[in-house]
Amino acid sequence: MADEFPFEISPMFEGERVRKDGMYVELAGPKSKGFELVKAVGMDEIEDGKFTLIGPDLSEMEEGSRHPIAMIYRVAGELVEPDLEAIVERRNHDFQNYIQGVMHLNQRYDIWIRVSKDAVKKGLNSFEQVAKATMMLFKNELPFIEKIETTYITDLAEAEKELEAAMESYKIRDERTRNLHDEDVDVFYGCTLCQSFAPTNVCVVTPDRISLCGAINWFDGRAAAKVDPEGPQFAIEKGEVIDAVGGEYSGVNDLAKSLSNGEYDRIKIHSFFEFPHTSCGCFEVVGFYIPEVDGIGWVDRDFTATAPNGLPFSTMAGQTGGGKQIVGFLGIGINYFRSPKFIEADGGWERVVWMPKNLKDKVLVDIPEDIVDKIATEEDVTDLESLKAFLIGKDHPILERWVEEEEEEEEEAEEAIEDIAAAAPGMMQMPAQAMMAGAVAPMAMAGGSGGGVKVILKNAKVSIDRIIIKKSE
Amino acid sequence: MTRVIAITGKGGTGKTAIAALLIRYLTKGDRVVLAIDADPDTNLPETLGCEVEKGIGDMREFMLTQRDNLPPDVNKESIFESKIYEVLSEMPRYDLLVMGRPEGSGCYCYANNLLRGIMDRLVKNYDVVIIDTAAGLEHFSRKIIRDIDDLIVITDGSRRGLRTAERIRELIRELEANVRNLYVIANKVTDANKDKITEIAEELDLELIGAVKVDKMIEERDLLGLPLFDLPDDSVAVEEVGNIAKKLEL
């Protein structure tokens, strides 16, 4: 590739590790300090190909010694912008590993580099060689970089000083990435790692929705899909927006259909009740609909007692998992609570009525201030009656739904009972509206006084809680 | 090509001792070895005379507990890889990794998937990988290490020990583990039980590639808690393990 260097350069060396036995020097790493940083700058601010070293060079370092290192790359080009810094910076890891005899681990302020004795023997004696090779690779592989200038710092005091400035850059970058939302990207990522357990489950990972296991965010999906597009994490073209609030996209629907073997063909990624996301068995938290209060409770894996609906996590997890669309239960990763689109289609946090104390504490700062005290925990309530009382006492916004419901009750009564009858065999798939609505049906009672009796079924599932018999007015 | 050898067997048969002696043989023969202690009851470091504080399990746990605190767009595989390198004990001619802490109740699919890729790359840097593992083969069922060239079951003089070998043969079939060869080494053999062990092995159609006699030097060192790595060359166990290594063409 380049005869000017005393080492070979090839992706073939990427997995090469320099063992302690064969190490000439160690740079940065857990026992020293260092960082790598890419900064986008103006075209006239840098001199292309220039290398500056502050501190001792490789030839001045003793065999077996350890030193700090900071690597700062300033890049410029018409298409270079600050948004690209992270992506460019990430490639330093790849390119330095292409160099035979150089090992580069980790990233940012955790970099860990070793140079092998063999490489030094073959003529690698200056950081300039490494920097020039890296700069060459940057320009070859990322053609939008028109100019690049590099500074390496091996002096501890200087490196520490520059690290402070670098931390500021990382912070700004992190804020920017945290502000990335579903509408800002064209591609989501799918994960089928759990299909061995739940063959029809497809996890859709978006900037506003972490995987159910909580382990894979949108950036992780992007990184994995890039390395192995045929692997368990892959790109999903968003396609057309069908429902912006519920999070329904034609691309996701198409893929859902093929990957679930036709089990379902629509997914609304921010909806609890309508075409909800499926759940494998790995979810950290289960959301469960509580028809008695028309709200949603959430219970996590670590909570072993029973939720106000009388069920423990394990039972609800059994209902939720398996890769089916289950209306009434939803598996999520804890980080989804931090999403601004958290069950947006269903009212978001205003629909949440109960969480275990520990779980609530974990996401406390992410709960909107005006609702945080209105969400009950096991310390406040133990069953549905006390939950109801708590919600009324705290004037939870869910109460507004109760009022609406009562108003609708009379009008929709007959329709609702028909729905219930139809949906009753598949209890868990029952449309939520039918589950929550009270039902009223005129019935001829044997021995009744001539058709003047109304039977009201409240909260009817398969069994009936209550039958109220009223005299017709 | 890296040769991957896993050593397993019923508890108490001395699989860790045999693993240590194989590592001793290989490093003396100028090979670079990766030793992996995949037994939850971590004994290999002590047997080798090496101190280990943390294992892969701790780093996996770190990745799980810290994942939401990491910058959102960092490459987690690269962090995990560096963390694994942190817990690698680097000794002359061999490196040692301890699996350690088992999985908790959460979902480990993603972490293990990353770990597979990391281990695939790491393993290639060594001439030989020696894995000391419990008979349940937990890490093989997770395919943390995907391909095994030789699976060696250590047995003592008991029929149960050989039965374990038979069960392991079944298990690798069930796990669809990629194991090329299955061998048996009889350990702590006496003149009284040697013939019987050979007979049972034949009966069960297991390939016996060596019989290590009861070694007084090992017994003494075990009692004092001394490592076996620096046993003298004339120890009977060292000699027999040398013979076995030659049979394995190591």
- Note the pLDDT tens digit of each residue in B46-98: 999 999 999 999 999 999 989 888 988 889 999 999 999 999 999 999 999 99
Residues A160, A200 within the same domain:
no
In a domain, A405, yes or no: no
Identify the three-state secondary structure at position A27: strand
Residues of chain A whose C-beta is under 8 A from some C-beta in B? Answer: 14-17, 19-21, 30, 86, 90, 93, 105-108, 110, 112, 170, 173-174, 177-178, 193-194, 211-217, 219-220, 223-224, 232, 281-284, 301-302, 334-335
Residues A422, A305 within the same domain:
no
Q: Which of A178, A204, A235 is the last residue of a domain?
A: A178
Residues A25, A95 within the same domain:
yes
Terminal-to-terminal C-alpha distance of chain A: 94
B68 → closest Cβ in A19, A112, A335? A335
Per-residue model confidence (pLDDT) at position A465: 62
Measured in angstroms, the CA of B94 and the nearest CA of chain A are apart by 9
The sheet with strand A147-153 has its strands ordered as A34-40, A69-76, A147-153, A51-54
Terminal-to-terminal C-alpha distance of chain B: 12
Per-residue model confidence (pLDDT) at position A459: 58
Residue A113 pairs with which residues in a beta bridge?
A27, A104
In a domain, A3, yes or no: no
Separation of alpha carbons A202 and A323, rounded Å: 7
B70 CB within 8 Å of a chain A CB: no
Q: Which residues contact A236 (CB under 8 A, 6 or more apart)?
A: A187, A188, A189, A190, A204, A251, A252, A255
A194 contacts on B by Cβ (under 8 Å): 109
Separation of alpha carbons B211 and B156, rounded Å: 9
Give tens-digit pLDDT for B19-51.
999 999 999 998 999 999 998 888 999 999 999
Architecture of domain B3-247: 3-Layer(aba) Sandwich (3.40)
Burial class (CB in 10 A: 0-12, 13-18, 19+), B143: middle
The better pLDDT of the pair A456, B91 is held by B91
Give tens-digit pLDDT for A74-124.
999 999 999 889 989 999 999 999 999 999 999 999 999 999 999 999 999
Residues A121, A32 within the same domain:
yes
CB A226 within 8 A of CB A185: no
Give tens-digit pLDDT for B137-158.
777 777 888 889 999 999 988 8
Q: How confident is the model at residue A196 (pLDDT cuts 50, 70, 90)?
A: confident
CATH number at residue A198: 3.40.1470.10
B107 contacts on A by Cβ (under 8 Å): 212-215, 281-284
What total number of domains does chain A contain?
3
Residues A333, A432 within the same domain:
no
Identify the three-state secondary structure at position A295: strand
CA distance readout (Å), B100 to B5, B36, B44, B95, B97: 19, 10, 11, 16, 9
Residues A461, A367 within the same domain:
no
Residues A84, A226 within the same domain:
no
Residues A122, A199 within the same domain:
no
Q: Which of A150, A178, A206 is the last residue of a domain?
A: A178
In a domain, A450, yes or no: yes
Q: Which of A346, A370, A396 is the last residue of a domain?
A: A396
B72 CB within 8 Å of a chain A CB: yes
Per-residue model confidence (pLDDT) at position B57: 94
Per-residue model confidence (pLDDT) at position A440: 38
Residues A308, A188 within the same domain:
yes
In a domain, A6, yes or no: no
Separation of alpha carbons A429 and A324, rounded Å: 10
Residues A83, A54 within the same domain:
yes
| pTM listed for this prediction | 0.83
A19 contacts on B by Cβ (under 8 Å): 32, 90, 95, 125
In a domain, A306, yes or no: yes
Residue A1 has pLDDT above 50, yes or no: no
Residues A206, A162 within the same domain:
no
In a domain, A154, yes or no: yes
Residue written as token pair 């701790």: B58
Provide the residue ranges of all domains of chain B, joining segments of one domain with +.
Answer: 3-247
- Inter-chain touch A214–B105, beta carbons under 8 Å: no
Residues A124, A197 within the same domain:
no
Q: Which residues contact A193 (CB under 8 A, 6 or more apart)?
A: A203, A232, A233, B109, B110, B113
What is chain B's mean pLDDT, rounded? 91
CATH number at residue A103: 3.30.1650.10
Q: What is the domain extent for residue A340?
A: 184-396
Give tens-digit pLDDT for B207-236.
999 999 999 999 999 899 899 988 999 999
- Assign residue A152 a region: left if phi > 0, alpha if psi is -120 to 50, beta otherwise? beta
